[in-house]
Structure 1
Amino acid sequence: MKNKRRTFTLGFKILAASMSIHCKRVCDVAGELNISARTLQHWKKLYQEGRFTIKKTSNEIYHKNELQKLRKQIKELEIERDIIKKAQNIFSGSG
């Protein structure tokens, strides 16, 4: 029977790496978290190098692009609104 490979969240990896840096030795932290010291040493190295980042999913990228389009559209509509207000003031004789 094969052992199932465990996966860990990015948050767990960051927490484990920072514990090994700030609190205790790598082997002690690894024992407490029930992971191998070699794995924790690797995570610690990545953490210190600043290589732990959250990868953006295509859905997040889509939403970011959509937000940029909507902000641009809002600016254009605000400009149009201001032009209409100015024209209204001119034609009503109060400008």
Structure 2
Amino acid sequence: MSETVPQAGPPQGPAPGPDADPSAPAPLEVGRVPTGDAGVDAGLERLADADHLATDGHVEVYEDVHRGLREALTALDARPGPPAPPSPSHSRS
């Protein structure tokens, strides 16, 4: 017996009406999973703003998110880490 496996693909929403503008922005509806870092999560949510903009407006959103993610990574580098292990002694007794 053969089973039919549904194929994954883009989400199928309702068909556009006859007056739909093909050049109008169409949301990508990409799911975003929270990371637990408030700054990173805010940046990911900011990506949803691009869904409502024409393509030429995406760059501003992407650059803004990129800047925020970069700042989050820089902040991680600035945090003090655990103390370094003591270096091995070069003298022998």
Same fold, judged at TM 0.5 (above): no
Return the TM-score normalized by structure 1: 0.30
